[in-house]
Structure 1
Amino acid sequence: MSSRSVAYEVPLWIDREGAPRVYRVCNLGDEPIRGLRATLLGPGHLEPVHVPVLTSGGDVSLTVVGPDLERGSVAVLRWFRPDGTEYLWRFSF
């Protein structure tokens, strides 16, 4: 007999109103996320982001710079839940 846990729903939502230069990451979950970091894969440069704690309802802006920011880049977000479990989530633009 095995135990099954319920899948963890990613609590983040991306506001693309400022795209392609600015993306707002919003925590829509019920718990704070810790150690949020973002990296960029592909053309462009992502200004460094490290948020020690992003509270429920909080947000942070990601700023991307570069000459060619059309489709082809992917941002990877990394964070920890309060229990210490690490998560990665990516979005493209």
Structure 2
Amino acid sequence: MTDVPLAYPVPWLFIRDHAPTYGLKNASLETLRHVWVAVIGSGSVPDHTPMVVAPGETVWVPIEGDDLAWDSFLNVRWRREDGSEYLWRAAF
């Protein structure tokens, strides 16, 4: 049997309780770099520079749009400490 690497768990906790501002909490034990947020659909997010999010830190992102749950998705892109890049999509 070959060694198969374990799946990498998504490090984000998506906080929807304060809409229209949404939180992304880094629930991992590593610093996430080059974090970039975009909205696919009718919603929009203000322009921003890539962020660095420390373990346990929450970043708050204002997202505009009517009925985001109907036609929009949040895309989060980041790099781990080893430089590998990931993309995660969440529904509102």
TM-score by length of 1: 0.88
Determine if contact 1:38/1:48 at 8 Å carries over to the other structure. Answer: no
Work out the CA distance in 1 between the residues paired with 2:26 and 2:42. 26
Deviations 1:28-52 (A, max 9, x none): 1000000000111111211124343
Displaced runs of 4 or more, over 3 A: 49-52
Structure 1: segments with no counterpart, 5+ residues: none
Q: CA deviation at 1:22?
A: 1.1
Between structures 1 and 2, the one with greater helix share = 2
How many pairs does the alignment contain? 91
Structure 2: segments with no counterpart, 5+ residues: none
Q: CA deviation at 1:70?
A: 3.6
Work out the CA distance in 1 between the residues paired with 2:47 and 2:67. 17
Identical residues among aligned pairs (%)? 33
Name 1:15's counterpart in structure 2: 15
Name 2:30's counterpart in structure 1: 31
RMSD of aligned alpha carbons: 1.4
Name 2:58's counterpart in structure 1: 59
Compared with structure 1, are the counterparts of its residues 91 and 49 closer, same or farther at alpha carbon in structure 2 (3 Å cutoff)?
Answer: farther
Determine if contact 2:34/2:77 at 8 Å carries over to the other structure. Answer: yes
